[in-house]
Structure 1
C-alpha cells in the first residue's frame, strides 16, 4: 500500500487521539505566548560579526554613548494667557528644571539646552525676557540658530544616553523621560515632545505591538468572510478554520518558548500564517467534499482527501519551506527569526490541516446526521454556479489555444520587466514610522529649524591619542570636513582638538598639557587608545544623498589615515547613522543572495519530487513569473526594499510554486486514470480551490494594511500582489505548457 495512503488511514482511524495531542500542544502554546517579546532596535538587525558592530560596541562601552534622545520644546499655539516665545523666562526655567531631573538618571551622561547658555554667561537663569533676548543676541547668528528656531518658537534639549540594547531598558528610559517631562510645569501654549533614537525606537515598538493585534484580527475577519462565501455555511466554514487557529496559536506560542522576538519582520507572522495556513485546510476540505459528491462514505472520503491532497500539500510545504529556508543564508538576524517563525508556522499549519481536519469534518457530518436523520451531501459555491463555469471555460480555452495564453503572459512580463529597473532600497528607522506621528513630526521640525540633528561619529584608534601629532591631525581633519559642509551636510563638530584649543588657544607639544585639557570630557577611552570625533548635521534627504554622504565619510577617513596622521592610526565611521548605511549595503547583498538560493532550493526540490523535466518546467515557470512580476510591481508602485522585505522574493518563490504544483499533480492524476481531457478537469477541479486559497492568503497579507508602520504596509501589499501574480501565472502558464507538452498524447487537440 502507498505509504501516504496508509498514513491517511491511520490519521482517520485514530483521529480523536491525534486531536487530543493537538489540544495539549495548544495549551502549551498559550503558555508560550505570554513570553513573547518585542524588539525595535537597529542593533538587532545587524550581524554580530560585522566590523561596524565592533566599532559600535566600542562606542557604547568606552564612551558611554551611541544613543540619544531629543526633546523638542515648541510654542504650538497662541492662546491668550500663554507664552509666545521660547525666550520667556518661564520656558527657560522649565527647561533647566527638566535638565536637572534628567541628569539625576543613571543612564543620562549629558544634556545640552538653551538654559546652559544662560548659566554659562550669567551664572544664573534670566530674570526677564529682555535679559534673555540680550544674552542670545550676543551669540554669533550661526550659533544662536543652533539653539532656537529663527522665529523663536522652538528649541531643543539634547540628551546623551548610555543604555543596554534591549526592549525593557528602552521602555523604562522612555517612560522615565516622559515622567520627567510631565513633572515639569511648562507655561501654557508650550508642547514638549520626546523624539530622536529613543523616541522613534519606542514608537516603533508601540506600533509593533498594536499592529500584531490589529492585523491578525483583520486577517481573521477577511478569511472568515471568504470561507463563508465559498462554503455557504458557518459550520462548514469553521472546518478549515479550526486547524488554522490551532496552527497560528501554536506558532506564536512556540516563538515565545524559543525566544524568537517580534520585530519589524516577525510581527507580520500572525496575519501571514492566517493567510497562508488556511490554504492547506481548504485543499483538504475541498477534496473531501468532491469525494463525497462522488458517492464515497465519510471515512473513505476523508482518507482519499488526506492521501491525495497530502501528496500535493507535502510538495507544496517542502518547496515553501525551501524558499523560506534560504533566509537562513542571510547575515541579517531579523531574517533568521522570520525564516524560523514561518517554517515553524507552515509546518504546524500543514500538520494540523491533515490531522485536525478529518476529525473536525467527520464530527460535523456525524452531528448533522443525528440532527437530520441522514447525511447531507455538501454543496460549496466553488464547485457550482458561476465560479465552476468560469474555470471550466478557462480549461477548455487553454486546451484549444495554449499559445495564445503564453503570448499574453509574455506581454505582461515585458511591462513588469520595466518596473524591475525602478526598484530601490530604504533602511533608515525614521523612514519606517508613519507620517503624522508626533515623534516624526518633531524630528522634521528639528531638521527644518536647526539644519539637522543627526550625529555621525568617527572612532580614532591609536597607541596614545594624546600624541600632539594625532591631536593636530584631528584638528585638520575636522576643518577639512567642515569646509565641505555644502556637500556633506555637516553643521558642527566636537573633538579633543577643540577642547585643547579652547583651553590653550593652540595645540601644545606636551602630552601632559593635552592630558590635563581632555580629562573628564568623555571623548577619550580610559587607556587613551581611542577617541571620538563627533559630527552633527543633516545627513537625511533621499536614500541616494544619504549613501553619498556616508561614502564621503568612508573615503575621507581612509584618506586622512594616510595624509593627516602618523602611522598606526585607524579611523572608522560609527554610530546609529552609519549603522543605517551599513545595513543598507548588507540588505542589497542579502536580497540577491536570498532570492537566488531560495529559487535554487525550490527548483531542486521540485526536480527531486517529480523527476520529469517537462513537468517541472510547467510547475516552476509560474513561480519565476510571479517573482519577476512582483519585483516589477515594487518598482512601479514605489515600494522600496527594506531590511524586513529582503527575503520577500524568496518567500514568493516558495509560495508561488504551490499553485502550479496543485494543478500539475491533479493533471498527472487524471492522466493516470485515463481522462482524455485532463487539462479541463484539472483546471475546473483544482482551480476553485487555488482561487479560495489565494484569496484567503492574500486577504491575510492585505490585513497588514491595517497596521500603522509603513514597512508592514509594504510587506502586505508586496506579498498579496506576489500571491495573485503567482496564481494568475499558474492559471495561464502551467495548463498551457502541460497541454503543449502532453496534449496530443492524452487525446487532446492542443496546438
Structure 2
C-alpha cells in the first residue's frame, strides 16, 4: 500500500509538471484574474491603533486596571476622554509659566469642537487659591495676571500639602521655594456616546497644536495621540523598510538571474504574493499591526528562495541541451515535491504561533501561513508557466538571452568552495556530527537563559532618533514622534506616582461592618517586595488611610469614626455607609473617590514596592498577596500586566518552537518514508535547523536581545524559513544519489548546484529581512536582525552540518538487515 501511495504521489507530481508545460497560458490568465480579486481585498484592510492593547486585552490584570480607570477618579487618572498637558522647564510654577498653561486652556475652552468640560492642574489650582470664584480658564488667567509673583508663590505654598496638587507636580517639587521642573494638567472633554477613536485622535491633535503654538515646553498627551503615532509607525516603517528591501533584493536578484526579463518575472511573482496576502488580510478582517510588517518581508524571503530554485534548476537542464518544455517539466517535477515539503514545514513553523494566547502573535501565524501557501502556488505554478510563455515570446521575436547559466557549477569557484564540507564530512562524519551536537547543545543551554520582556516603548521610536533617520529623503522620511519622550518625562518626573507601586483591585460589599478591617488585615504580613513599611508591614494608600487622615484633621468626623470603632483599631467597623456619606461630602471627598467606587462595591489599594525588586518579583508577590484578601482581589498595574504578558511571550516562544520542530520532524519522516522509503532522512533534515536555532538562541543572549512581542515568534519562524535549505539540499541529493548510491558524488553535485542557489537565496533573504533593522521601532529592528542571522545559520547548517549527517545516513542506507530491510519490506 505504501509503495502504491508513493508511486501515486510521484505520478500526480509528474502530472502537475505536465499541466504546467501543457497549459502555461491558461495558468497565467487564471492567476492574473485571482490577483484582481485579491487586489479588491486590499481596500478593506484596517489597522490596529494601539500595539499594546491587543496584547493585554482579556487578561485579568488588564481587566482589573480597566475597572479601576472606569470606577475611580483621581488627579492622575486619565480616561479615554481626557488629554494631558505635560509642562516641562527649569521652573514651571512661575507666574509666566502658569499663565502659559492657562492661555492654552483658554484657547481649548473657546473652541467648541474641543468640547472642554473641565481642567485640573497646578495652574488651575493656584488660580482658584488666588480667586475661589474663578471657574473658567479665562477667569483663572485673569486671576493669575492680576497677582504678583509673591502672591503666586504664597498661593502655591498654601496648596502644597494638598495630595491632589502633589500628584500633578514633579517629584522635585520644593514647597518652600515653590518650584518644580514639570507639571501635569488634565483636560476633560464632554463627548457624545458615538465618539470613536478617530474623533479622539482628531480632538487631541488639535489640542496639541494649540499647546505647541503657545509654548514648546507644553506637550499634549493622550490615547488619541498615542494611537495616531502607532498608526503612523506602520506607514513610516513600511516606507523606510520596503524600498530598502526591494533595492537589496533587486541587487542580488540581478546577480542571481543575470537576465532582466527573468528578473522582471521574479519580481512580478513577488508582487503577486504580496497582493494575494494583503488581499486575504482585508477579506479576513484581521487588523494590520506592527507584527504584520514583518510578513511581507518573510514572504519575499521565501518567494526569492523558490524563484531562484526554479529558474536555476531550469537553466541546469537547458544548458545540457534540453528544450524549454522538457527542461521546465524536469525542473517542476523534481522541485514540486521539495516545494510541497518546504511549504508544509514552513507553514508548521509560521503557523505554530497560532497556539499563542496573544492575539497579535496568533494573527501573525495565520497571515504568514496563508501567505506561504500563496507563495507556493505562485512560484510553483505561475512562475514556471510565465517563464515558458516569455521564452516562447523571446524565441518568436528573436529577443536575446543575456545570461542563462546556473548560479554555480562543480567547476566554479563557488561550487568548489561549497563542496569542501563534503570532503571533510566524508573523512570523519561521526566526529563532525558529535562535535556539532556538543557545540549546538552548549549554545542551546546558554541561550536558554535569554531574557523575556514586554514594554510599550518597544513599539515606539526611541527618543533619540537613529543616525540614519535624518538622512532619509522625502517622501520616505518619517514624521515627528513625541510619545516616547513624553513617557520618559513622565517616568523621570512623576516616578512616585507611577512606577514604585502596584494596585490591588478588591471587589466586595464594602458597607459590611468588618469590610475595612478585612481590607487592611493582609498588610501586617505582606510578601517580600511589599514589606517596605515600619516593621516589615505594607505601606498602603486606600480608603482606610483617607478616613484616618481626615479624621485627624476634622474633630467632628474623628468623633464619628471613634463612635463606630468597636474594636478600638482606629478603623470603623459599623455604620460604614454613613461614614462614607460624610467623607464624600467633605473636602476629602475627591481623594476618597480615588479609592472607593460610587456603588461601594469595589476599592483600589495602592502599595509601595521595594525599588530594588525586579518586575518578576513584584508581579509574583502581588499575585500571592492578592490571595490573602477576604474578598476577590486582583493585583494590577503596568508592572504586573507587562510581567504577565512577558510570561505568555516566553510560553508562546517555547510552545511554538516545540510544535514547529515536532510537526516538521513527523511530517518529514512520513514524507520520506512514503516517497523514498527513507524515513530517517526526516530526522537528518531537522538536525541542521536544530543546530541553527540553538546558535540563534545563544546569539540572542550574547547580544542582549530578549524574547519580546515580536522576537517571540523568531524560534518557530526560524524553523519555517530555515528548514527549506535542508529540504532543497536533501531533495537534490536524492535525485543525484540514485541507483549508484555514490554519496560523495551526489553531495558534491548537490552542494555545487543546489548549494549555489541556496547561497544566492541566503544572501537575498538575510539582507532583505535584515533591512527590518532600519525600521523606526526597536521591536522590528531586533526581529529583522535575528531573522537575517537565522537565515545565515540555516544556510551554514545546510552546507556544513547536513553533509556529514548524510554520510552517516548513507552508512545505514547501504547496510544490510535491520531497519532498512524492515522499511523496504513494508513498502513492498
TM-score (norm 2): 0.79
Q: 1:45 and 1:656 mapped to 2: Cα distance?
A: 27
- Report the equivalent of 1:545: 614
- Within the alignment, does 1:152 sit opposite 2:221 as a pair? no
- Report the equivalent of 1:714: 782
Q: CA deviation at 1:162?
A: 11
List per-residue Cα deviations over 1:126-176 (Å, max 9, x = no partner).
Answer: 32322222233342599759614456342222467999999x944542442
SS of the residue corresponding to residue 459 of structure 1 reads strand
- Within the alignment, does 1:180 sit opposite 2:240 as a pair? no
- Within the alignment, does 1:389 sit opposite 2:451 as a pair? no
List per-residue Cα deviations over 1:606-649 (Å, max 9, x = no partner).
Answer: 11111234312221101211111111111001000112222221
Q: 1:634 and 1:518 mapped to 2: Cα distance?
A: 54
- Report the equivalent of 1:462: 508
- Report the equivalent of 1:566: none
- Report the equivalent of 2:467: none
- Report the equivalent of 1:87: 93
- Report the equivalent of 1:697: 765
Q: 1:382 and 1:162 mapped to 2: Cα distance?
A: 70
SS of the residue corresponding to residue 711 of structure 2 reads coil
Q: 2:155 and 2:518 mapped to 1: Cα distance?
A: 35
Q: 2:432 and 2:391 mapped to 1: Cα distance?
A: 42
Alignment of 1:225-240 (within 5 A): 225-240=251-266
Q: 1:111 to 1:457 in 2, by over 3 A?
A: farther
- Native 8 Å contact 1:111 1:157 kept in 2: yes
Q: 1:695 and 1:165 mapped to 2: Cα distance?
A: 54
Alignment of 1:544-623 (within 5 A): 545-559=614-628, 561-562=629-630, 569-611=631-673, 612-623=678-689
SS of the residue corresponding to residue 126 of structure 2 reads helix
- Report the equivalent of 2:600: 528
Q: CA deviation at 1:687?
A: 0.6
Q: 2:103 and 2:504 mapped to 1: Cα distance?
A: 33
Q: 1:196 to 1:408 in 2, by over 3 A?
A: farther
SS of the residue corresponding to residue 414 of structure 2 reads helix
SS of the residue corresponding to residue 19 of structure 1 reads helix
List per-residue Cα deviations over 1:375-430 (Å, max 9, x = no partner).
Answer: 78712443474322322444344334434643653464266246414410110213
- Report the equivalent of 1:81: none
- Report the equivalent of 2:20: 11
- Report the equivalent of 1:565: none
Count of residues in correspondence between the two structures: 724
Q: CA deviation at 1:23?
A: 1.5
Q: CA deviation at 1:469?
A: 3.3
List gaps (5 residues or longer) in structure 1.
Answer: 76-83, 563-568
Q: 1:376 to 1:54 in 2, by over 3 A?
A: closer
Residue 117 of structure 1: which of 98, 105, 125 is its match? 125
Range 396-405 or range 278-287, more displaced: 396-405
Alignment of 1:488-503 (within 5 A): 493=541, 495=543, 498=546, 501-502=549-550
Q: 1:555 and 1:107 mapped to 2: Cα distance?
A: 44
Aligned-pair RMSD on alpha carbons?
3.7
List per-residue Cα deviations over 1:412-450 (Å, max 9, x = no partner).
Answer: 426624641441011021344323253222332332233
SS of the residue corresponding to residue 804 of structure 2 reads helix
Q: 1:172 and 1:136 mapped to 2: Cα distance?
A: 36
- Native 8 Å contact 2:766 2:788 kept in 1: yes
Q: 1:165 and 1:406 mapped to 2: Cα distance?
A: 67
Q: 1:373 to 1:11 in 2, by over 3 A?
A: closer
List gaps (5 residues or longer) in structure 2.
Answer: 1-9, 135-142, 174-178, 465-480, 565-573, 816-828
Q: 2:648 and 2:534 mapped to 1: Cα distance?
A: 28
Q: CA deviation at 1:695?
A: 1.9
Q: 1:160 to 1:666 in 2, by over 3 A?
A: farther
List per-residue Cα deviations over 1:89-134 (Å, max 9, x = no partner).
Answer: 3321332454577788999897542124314533254323222222
Residue 372 of structure 1: which of 395, 398, 413 is its match? 398
SS of the residue corresponding to residue 505 of structure 2 reads strand
Q: CA deviation at 1:263?
A: 2.0
- Native 8 Å contact 2:316 2:405 kept in 1: no
Range 719-728 or range 175-184, more displaced: 175-184
SS of the residue corresponding to residue 147 of structure 1 reads coil
Alignment of 1:432-511 (within 5 A): 432-433=459-460, 434-436=462-464, 438-454=482-498, 456-463=502-509, 465-467=510-512, 469-471=514-516, 474=519, 484=532, 493=541, 495=543, 498=546, 501-502=549-550, 505-506=557-558, 507=561, 509-510=574-575, 511=577
Q: 1:375 and 1:707 mapped to 2: Cα distance?
A: 38
- Report the equivalent of 1:24: 33
- Within the alignment, does 1:278 sit opposite 2:304 as a pair? yes
- Within the alignment, does 1:737 sit opposite 2:805 as a pair? yes
- Native 8 Å contact 1:457 1:532 kept in 2: yes
Residue 642 of structure 1: which of 703, 708, 712 is its match? 708
Alignment of 1:55-204 (within 5 A): 55-56=64-65, 58-59=67-68, 62=71, 67=79, 70-75=84-89, 85-98=91-104, 112-122=120-130, 123=132, 124=134, 125-126=143-144, 127-138=147-158, 139-140=160-161, 147-148=169-170, 149-150=172-173, 152-158=180-186, 169-184=196-211, 190-195=216-221, 199-204=225-230
Q: CA deviation at 1:570?
A: 1.9
- Native 8 Å contact 1:232 1:380 kept in 2: no
TM-score (norm 1): 0.86
- Native 8 Å contact 1:405 1:732 kept in 2: no
Q: 1:630 and 1:25 mapped to 2: Cα distance?
A: 38
- Native 8 Å contact 2:86 2:185 kept in 1: yes
Q: CA deviation at 1:494?
A: 5.8
Range 55-64 or range 715-724, more displaced: 55-64
Q: 1:106 to 1:441 in 2, by over 3 A?
A: closer
Q: 1:194 to 1:598 in 2, by over 3 A?
A: farther
Q: 2:193 and 2:778 mapped to 1: Cα distance?
A: 24
SS of the residue corresponding to residue 322 of structure 2 reads coil
List per-residue Cα deviations over 1:275-321 (Å, max 9, x = no partner).
Answer: 22221111111111111112211111111111111110100111111
SS of the residue corresponding to residue 156 of structure 1 reads strand
Q: 1:74 to 1:486 in 2, by over 3 A?
A: farther
Q: 1:484 and 1:191 mapped to 2: Cα distance?
A: 36
- Native 8 Å contact 2:168 2:184 kept in 1: no
SS of the residue corresponding to residue 71 of structure 1 reads strand
SS of the residue corresponding to residue 736 of structure 1 reads helix
- Within the alignment, does 1:680 sit opposite 2:761 as a pair? no
List per-residue Cα deviations over 1:641-664 (Å, max 9, x = no partner).
Answer: 112222221111222222111111
Residue 362 of structure 1: which of 364, 376, 388 is its match? 388
- Report the equivalent of 1:264: 290
Q: 2:599 and 2:235 mapped to 1: Cα distance?
A: 43
Q: CA deviation at 1:516?
A: 4.9
SS of the residue corresponding to residue 247 of structure 2 reads helix
Q: 1:343 and 1:141 mapped to 2: Cα distance?
A: 57
- Report the equivalent of 2:723: 657
